[in-house]
Structure 1
Amino acid sequence: MDLARLSTDALASFAVFAEHLNFTRSAEELRISQPALHVKVNKLAESLGRPLYRRQGRVLTLTREGEVVARFARELDVRVATFLAEVRGTAPTRPLVLAAGEGAYLYLLGDLVRDILRGRDDDRRPPLKLINCDRARMLGAVRSGRADLGVGVLETLPDDLHTTLLASYPATLVMPADHPLASRRRLTLADLDGHALVLPPSSRPHRVAVERALRDADVDWVLAIEAEGWPLTLHFVSLGVGLAVVNGCVRPTPGLVAREITGLPSAPYYAVHLPDRADDPRIDTILTAIQRSLDTDGGERR
């Protein structure tokens, strides 16, 4: 490997490319031509002797080596920014990048994000940059260094990331307030027998877990409709399309109620970050704020 050819310019360009995984948008942000960016990325890969991304149709994904290089490039960018801030006697302004999905932003992180973006409560909290993505992309963003911190439901803990349990919520059944099952404080899987359910698409982990539990309990049920996202799920319930099994953090909209269902696994929300970021005071500050917010909000903590 020719380390002399490993330029900081190429690393900085690759960091931008790794964030977008799109040559057009990356070149526009860098204000260079697409061919020039292709040359930079290809020369970097040649210098390292490893492919940094792969193409599947029109979709680009980082290789394992690409994730490592992207993480290093972003860390280098942070160190340079910190160094320049120290020399100039100014405070570093790089935001903390938080990656999470729709459910986490809606029901766990919303109040905290609003307060930080409006500059409320605690001036020590770093400015935020948000990424909205599914669980797989959240983990990928943390591994590649694109995100400083990720939040999501994890049934299996990754062995290459540091994890912190934030809260665990039981599964609940959401239904109209006048539904016969609404009079009970707690339900079992058998209570769902014969009902039409609003569920996520079949590929989603939540759908897989619910179907497996209902099958094991020999419960006969009907799929009312598939819905992507909790807000649309609740909307279909309010229309009378069917009942919905959701994570317990999901707040029913007016006219609906939620009752806990025994026999279904809880949804554990974790915060994840790279192990070498454990001493980063910005991550510690945000984690502490999230945990305090959830304690106030009443999440089932373990």
Structure 2
Amino acid sequence: MDSQMDIPRTNLDALQSFAVFADTLNFSESARLLHISQPALHAKVRKLSEQIDAKLYVRVGGALELTATGEQVARHARELLAFNQRFVKGLAQGQDAPVVTLAAGEGAYLYLLGKALSRFSGAGASPHLQLLTRDRDESIQAVRSGQVQLGIAPLGTVPADLRAVRLTSVGQVLVVPRGHALTSRKTARLRDLKGAQLIVPPAGRPHRELLGRLLQAESVQWQPSLEANGWELMLRFAQLGFGLTVVNACCHIPNGLVAIPLQGYPSLDYHVFHAADRPPTAHVQRLMDALLAHGDHWKTR
């Protein structure tokens, strides 16, 4: 079964209803969103399961979870729903209105992708861009579920169900106030952070966890002075004097601060990726090509 799955006996209404259910995994909430009764929704999902001859969800404790088949059907259903919505919109506007969807983090949009997206949108007969702001794990899930066609994130190891191409490599910099003792250095080391008050993301975020492990490996004691989610907020609070911070080297550094390349923190390889079982359409491939052509543009600013 794939995104072009052959399920001729199913109907669009049942699939669209299942797409809503798959996003909520709650029959009451899904029925409310669909403006139908809960028994009616149960009947639609049950009939769809019978037609495909496979379980679409299971109960685990007090929660519902999609089966592997359910995930595939949900992805197919979302694609059909999105296509139908675009088709209706195109009819209303008197024209075809193709849409290309992309998920990436706020920092990637702000510092890495602007040039590529501008060139893509400025080209003749370009499709409409729909941009979703998602972190790494959320971008992967959005691609897997069919919510978006492309994702951009630092993947590390590429999951087997994705096809990814390296976009660019981004190092890390230590950001300190002008006049700080480290500003005379060409590079900083992790042990230079001994005793530092650091502005970091909340616990559990990838950057916070990796930085913590690296500092622990160097036996460096440090204290979080403030938790802030996102490069912009971290830099703003560094500018306000809350402490030092470590951010991607692609970030714009505010006035009053100095960025020093940080040794010992590995560079992040950002990838552009799509689902392995869904080859890019012509429009999606054009966006990929634009992204890859300008992936290192931030280094020349």
TM-score scaled to structure 1, two decimals?
0.81
Return the letter of the residue paired with 2:230.
Answer: G
Distance change (3 Å), C-alpha of 1:54 and 1:266 = farther
What are the equivalent positions in structure 2 for 1:2-81 lying under 5 Å apart? 6-19=10-23, 30=34, 32-33=36-37, 36-47=40-51, 48-52=53-57, 62-76=66-80
Q: CA offsets per residue over residues 211-269 of structure 1, 9 Å max, x none?
A: 11111112222221222222221122111111111122222222222111011111111
What are the equivalent positions in structure 2 for 1:190-205 lying under 5 Å apart? 190-205=191-206
Map of 2:136 onto structure 1:
135
Q: CA offsets per residue over residues 52-97 of structure 1, 9 Å max, x none?
A: 3767868x76443222112222444577789999xxxx86423111
Check if 1:100 corresponds to 2:104: yes
Conservation of the 8 A alpha-carbon contact between 2:172 and 2:265: yes
Distance change (3 Å), C-alpha of 1:75 and 1:284 = same
Conservation of the 8 A alpha-carbon contact between 1:125 and 1:285: no
Conservation of the 8 A alpha-carbon contact between 2:178 and 2:258: yes
Map of 2:275 onto structure 1:
274
Return the letter of the residue paired with 1:219.
Answer: V
Query: Quick one: distance in 2 between partners of 1:262 and 1:92?
Result: 51
Conservation of the 8 A alpha-carbon contact between 2:27 and 2:38: yes
Conservation of the 8 A alpha-carbon contact between 1:81 and 1:92: no
Q: Please give the secondary structure, in 2, of the residue aligned with 1:172.
A: strand
Query: Quick one: distance in 2 between partners of 1:53 and 1:257?
Result: 53
What are the equivalent positions in structure 2 for 1:146-225 lying under 5 Å apart? 146-225=147-226
Segment of structure 1 superposing worse, 60-69 or 139-148: 60-69
Q: Please give the secondary structure, in 2, of the residue aligned with 1:198.
A: strand
Query: Quick one: distance in 1 between partners of 2:143 and 2:210?
Result: 25
Query: Quick one: distance in 1 between partners of 2:65 and 2:125?
Result: 35
Distance change (3 Å), C-alpha of 1:13 and 1:92 = farther
Q: What fraction of aligned residue pairs are identical, expressed as a percent?
A: 43
Query: Quick one: distance in 1 between partners of 2:235 and 2:146?
Result: 35
Unaligned ranges ≥5, structure 2: 1-6
Q: Please give the secondary structure, in 1, of the residue aligned with 2:157.
A: coil
Return the letter of the residue paired with 1:177.
Answer: R
Unaligned ranges ≥5, structure 1: none
Distance change (3 Å), C-alpha of 1:6 and 1:174 = same
Conservation of the 8 A alpha-carbon contact between 2:54 and 2:69: no
Conservation of the 8 A alpha-carbon contact between 2:116 and 2:295: no
By how many angstroms is 1:177 displaced? 2.5
Q: CA offsets per residue over residues 105-158 of structure 1, 9 Å max, x none?
A: 222234554x37xx9520243211222222222111111211101111212211
Map of 1:246 onto structure 2:
247
Map of 2:285 onto structure 1:
284
Q: Please give the secondary structure, in 2, of the residue aligned with 1:277.
A: coil
Query: Quick one: distance in 1 between partners of 2:38 and 2:136?
Result: 30
Q: Please give the secondary structure, in 2, of the residue aligned with 1:298.
A: helix
Distance change (3 Å), C-alpha of 1:83 and 1:252 = closer
TM-score scaled to structure 2, two decimals?
0.82
Query: Quick one: distance in 1 between partners of 2:293 and 2:61?
Result: 42
Count residues with an aligned counterpart.
290
Q: Please give the secondary structure, in 2, of the residue aligned with 1:140.
A: helix
Q: Please give the secondary structure, in 2, of the residue aligned with 1:125.
A: coil
Conservation of the 8 A alpha-carbon contact between 2:87 and 2:97: no
Distance change (3 Å), C-alpha of 1:103 and 1:34 = farther
